[in-house]
A and B are shown apart, each in its own frame.
Chain A
Amino acid sequence: MPTIEVQRQLLPILTSPNQGARFFNPELPSSEPFVPGHRTCAGCGPSIQYRMTSKAAGDNTILVGPTGCMYVANSSYLCTPYNVPWAHTQIGSAGSFTAGVAAAYEAMIRKGKWKGKFPNIICEAGDGSASDIGLASISGALYRNHDCLIICYDNEQYANTGIQASSRTPYGGMTTFSPPGPEVPEGKKLFPKDLARMMAAGHPHCYVATASVGYPIDLMNKVRKGLNNKGASYLMVYTPCQKGFVYETPRSIDLGRLVVECGLYPMWEWNPEKRSYDYSFRPQTMRPVSEYLKLQGRFGHLHAEHIAKLQKFANEQWRMMGVELPEALIQAADAKNLVNMAAAAEAQAVAETL
């Protein structure tokens, strides 16, 4: 039997300036595959990301939701925020379930069992799923190059289970599995796994990029580039968690900017054709990490030496992107020039709110 050629859709790239998150933008698509009415927290970074991402993808989309906040808080039996097909899968099945959906559509369209354009297949995995338990399954899907987009909504912790450290939790980040105490004053002692680079290095044929909710147009364009790429794509998005990071609710988007401006979340794209990183994204300003840390209770216990360590880490990230460091940031990597975040008693008070 002759096979039928699989037709794929191509989404246009938005041209609006990157820095216009809070104003009406006529270029944004009107479709809302992810609607309000779910149970996520006020200011939830992952759900802001979810709305932008699904908006960018449009209606011919299938969403896969491995266990995590975006499963538990979004889908409540007998009511659903998804206007497009959505399926839960196990937390370790992010890449594999998605691969199954993509493979099914390849085969069904080719064999004439389903008629229409190949759908956008998007997996929304948390960083616990993507960096820990589901890492192998995502690597498998990227390696085999299924036509899908795997998004890691990175809130730097297992938030749904009550704020536990993942391998994406930053150094010094307080979680219930990495609490600070007299013996371990910094809380989390390990630096995070560089997951996005790992995906780019290990699967160079895939489109890989990092993004942040602080830059919605950039995020939506990266989603579209990922979907337009025939084959697998991986997108890692910074999505602050008000509950775990302990900040003032309206500041989610601000944090999404600050984390990039202070160099803790490098923004880049991996171009699978040129086989090279694109570091051309530049935030409007560069800031010391302390300006990002001081807004969040999870860092409230840090001493000057810990902040210096984080600044050193951020400076290394800037260098990796080929950015020349201003003197102020080099100075900020020296503990002598820094002060502790808070007195021990104040830090303790924050810990108790978790």
Chain B
Amino acid sequence: MATATDVKKRMVRINGCVASAQAAKYADVDVIAAYPIRPYTATMMALAQMVANGELDAEYIVADSEHSQLSISHGASSSGARVFTGSSGVGVQFAYELYSPISGSRMPVQMMIADRTLDPPGDFGSEHTDALSTRDMGWIMGWSCDAQEAFDNHLIAYRIGEDPRVLLPQMVCQDGFFVSHITGDVELPDTGQVKEFLPPYKHPYPLDPRHPVSHGPQIMPEQGPPLQLERARAMEESMPVIEQVHEEFAKIFGRKYDPWVEEFMTDGADVVFFLQGAHAVTAKFAIQHMRDRGMKVGMVRLRTIRPYPTDRVREVLSKFKVVGVIETNMGLGSPSSGGVLYSEVCAALYESQHKPLVFSFMAGMGGEAIVLKEFYWMTEKMLEVQKRGKIEKRTHWVGFEH
């Protein structure tokens, strides 16, 4: 383990995109597949410069589409190379075909996503629908809320995904602009720390002429169920590894993250926000203000949505009287007629003896900031629901109601 004297850490002020690029550099990736789309592009711009400067030895491929980006990543990962790719918005969806083949062939490709609203009508702003629409494709997935966490999550995700007990691809998501383009202080580690934490990628059965293997042959219907069961198990069995890797990360880098949820001012709280990603930063300020005024409000931020920590979410949320889910995604025609997080929360709480009242807020849509005033409004809605003892409706569109 690196000792205190030979650790050369340094603080830099960078945005989320550059933090992701730095993480890829520290991970010494072999193949990078790029294709431009805002806002994640800045990550690939930074990596291109690192390769041009000779700071990073990698094959930097400018692909002809996102579909090709993911296919290149699939091929390179299948051959034994550590791969980095990324996208935003409709780009994430253009590559959709590849998500299941990559996770099904157990290739630990890493994809950075800086969220962007889907078309129509051509909105650059952050909305989580792009990545969330792929949530059931067998990728490990979670959101960061600032540049430092984005940097850390990339290294953590490589370590989890490449673990021979796991071998799964990872989507390391951050909000477009709120994280990707806002600078923050990021501690870049010593390369020795990264070496200690992240061993070289070694796939057990790569495409190597000296040990021929066939990847992805055609199967008969009766061969399908056992293979699908294996995939389901892979997701489930990654959970203890995820916990273990977070602990090791804390030991080596000194930053401790709960792998599943972050709780903020939940002690004594009656009502809580449940959300993912960057709006948690504003939520924390709002909650502090409201606590000062005596409102018993807190926040629970989901850090990993796939695999979904059902039991953990149930344990955490059962303590409260009201849960207000901040969606920041579109689930058109979903059970709540709002987003998709509501159903995930309700599913976790269904088996609970103490069910809080759950409803959702459509806030931060189209990449709009959720301002303090809106957090106060949402808190009042939650407190009203607590007082009334039942919800008014499942989904509130913030900014469209009084």
Q: Give me the interface of A with B, judged by CB distance under 8 Å.
A: 1, 3, 59-62, 64, 71-72, 75-78, 80, 82-90, 92-93, 95-101, 103-108, 110-111, 113-114, 116, 119, 136-137, 139-140, 143-144
What are the residues of chain A within 8 A of B71 when measuring CB–CB?
89-90, 92-93, 96-97, 99-100, 137
What are the residues of chain A within 8 A of B208 when measuring CB–CB?
85, 114
Give complex CA distance A64, B215 in Å: 10
What are the residues of chain B within 8 A of A119 when measuring CB–CB?
209
Contact A89 B74 (CB under 8 A): yes
Residue ID in chain A nearest B223 by CB atoms: A77
B72 lies within 8 A of chain A by Cβ? yes
Contact of A87 among B33, B59, B61, B78 (CB under 8 A): B78
Contact A85 B31 (CB under 8 A): no
Residue ID in chain B nearest A3 by CB atoms: B57
Q: Give me the interface of B with A, judged by CB distance under 8 Å.
A: 30-31, 33, 57-59, 61-65, 67-69, 71-81, 83, 97-98, 101, 105, 200, 206-220, 223
Contact A77 B207 (CB under 8 A): no
Closest Cβ of chain B to A86, distance in Å, is 5
Seed contacts A82-B214, A83-B212, A137-B68; 17 additional CB < 8 Å A-B pairs: A62-B209, A72-B218, A76-B217, A77-B217, A85-B209, A86-B215, A87-B207, A89-B75, A93-B74, A93-B98, A99-B71, A100-B61, A100-B77, A100-B78, A107-B58, A140-B68, A144-B62
Give complex CA distance A206, B215 in Å: 28
Closest Cβ of chain B to A96, distance in Å, is 4
A1-B57, A85-B208 given; A101·B215 CB < 8 A: no
Residue ID in chain B nearest A86 by CB atoms: B214
What are the residues of chain A within 8 A of B223 when measuring CB–CB?
77-78
Closest Cβ of chain B to A100, distance in Å, is 3
Give complex CA distance A184, B256 in Å: 71
Contact A88 B78 (CB under 8 A): no
Closest Cβ of chain B to A184, distance in Å, is 33
Closest Cβ of chain A to B241, distance in Å, is 24
Closest Cβ of chain A to B263, distance in Å, is 41
Contact of B98 among A59, A90, A136 (CB under 8 A): A90
What are the residues of chain A within 8 A of B31 when measuring CB–CB?
100, 103-104, 107
Give complex CA distance A114, B214 in Å: 19
Contact B74 A107 (CB under 8 A): no
Closest Cβ of chain A to B301, distance in Å, is 35
What are the residues of chain B within 8 A of A75 when measuring CB–CB?
214, 216-218
Closest Cβ of chain A to B42, distance in Å, is 22
What are the residues of chain A within 8 A of B83 when measuring CB–CB?
100, 104
Contact of B76 among A88, A90, A103, A116 (CB under 8 A): A103
Give complex CA distance A108, B203 in Å: 13
Give complex CA distance A165, B63 in Å: 29
Contact A64 B213 (CB under 8 A): no
A92-B97, A98-B75, A100-B75 given; A110·B218 CB < 8 A: no
What are the residues of chain A within 8 A of B76 when measuring CB–CB?
100-101, 103-104
Closest Cβ of chain A to B236, distance in Å, is 23
A85-B208, A108-B80, A111-B57 given; A96·B218 CB < 8 A: no
What are the residues of chain B within 8 A of A110 when measuring CB–CB?
57
Contact A101 B64 (CB under 8 A): no
Give complex CA distance A134, B64 in Å: 11
Contact B74 A104 (CB under 8 A): no
Closest Cβ of chain A to B201, distance in Å, is 9
Closest Cβ of chain A to B203, distance in Å, is 11
What are the residues of chain A within 8 A of B105 when measuring CB–CB?
87
Closest Cβ of chain B to A35, distance in Å, is 11
Residue ID in chain A nearest B210 by CB atoms: A116
Contact B79 A108 (CB under 8 A): yes
Give complex CA distance A95, B72 in Å: 9
What are the residues of chain A within 8 A of B81 when measuring CB–CB?
103-104, 107-108, 113
What are the residues of chain B within 8 A of A101 when measuring CB–CB?
75-76, 78-79, 207
Contact A82 B212 (CB under 8 A): yes
Interface centre among B64, B67, B75 (most CB of A within 10 A): B75
Give complex CA distance A271, B20 in Å: 43
| 12 A-B pairs (CB sep. < 8 Å) | A77-B218, A82-B212, A84-B209, A85-B209, A85-B214, A90-B98, A92-B97, A93-B71, A98-B75, A104-B81, A107-B58, A114-B208
Residue ID in chain A nearest B109 by CB atoms: A100
Closest Cβ of chain B to A149, distance in Å, is 15
What are the residues of chain B within 8 A of A92 when measuring CB–CB?
67, 71, 97
What are the residues of chain A within 8 A of B65 when measuring CB–CB?
136-137
Give complex CA distance A140, B62 in Å: 9
A85-B212, A101-B76 given; A137·B33 CB < 8 A: no
Give complex CA distance A187, B388 in Å: 71
What are the residues of chain A within 8 A of B77 when measuring CB–CB?
100, 104
Give complex CA distance A215, B98 in Å: 37
Give complex CA distance A332, B76 in Å: 52
Contact of A77 among B98, B206, B219 (CB under 8 A): B219
Give complex CA distance A96, B59 in Å: 14
Residue ID in chain B nearest A61 by CB atoms: B209
Give complex CA distance A119, B81 in Å: 15
A85-B213, A96-B71 given; A104·B101 CB < 8 A: no
What are the residues of chain B within 8 A of A61 when measuring CB–CB?
209
Closest Cβ of chain B to A56, distance in Å, is 15
Closest Cβ of chain B to A61, distance in Å, is 6
Residue ID in chain B nearest A33 by CB atoms: B212
Closest Cβ of chain A to B364, distance in Å, is 34
What are the residues of chain B within 8 A of A104 when measuring CB–CB?
30-31, 59, 75-81, 83
Residue ID in chain B nearest A111 by CB atoms: B57
What are the residues of chain B within 8 A of A76 when measuring CB–CB?
217-220
Contact B30 A107 (CB under 8 A): yes
Give complex CA distance A108, B28 in Å: 11
Closest Cβ of chain B to A173, distance in Å, is 27
What are the residues of chain B within 8 A of A71 when measuring CB–CB?
218
Give complex CA distance A278, B81 in Å: 38
Contact A96 B214 (CB under 8 A): no
Give complex CA distance A195, B376 in Å: 62
Give complex CA distance A116, B200 in Å: 19
Give complex CA distance A103, B211 in Å: 19
Closest Cβ of chain B to A188, distance in Å, is 28
Closest Cβ of chain B to A207, distance in Å, is 21
Give complex CA distance A84, B98 in Å: 24
What are the residues of chain B within 8 A of A137 when measuring CB–CB?
64-65, 67-68, 71
Residue ID in chain A nearest B216 by CB atoms: A88
Closest 9 CB pairs of A and B: A100-B75, A88-B216, A75-B217, A96-B71, A93-B71, A104-B81, A140-B64, A104-B79, A96-B68
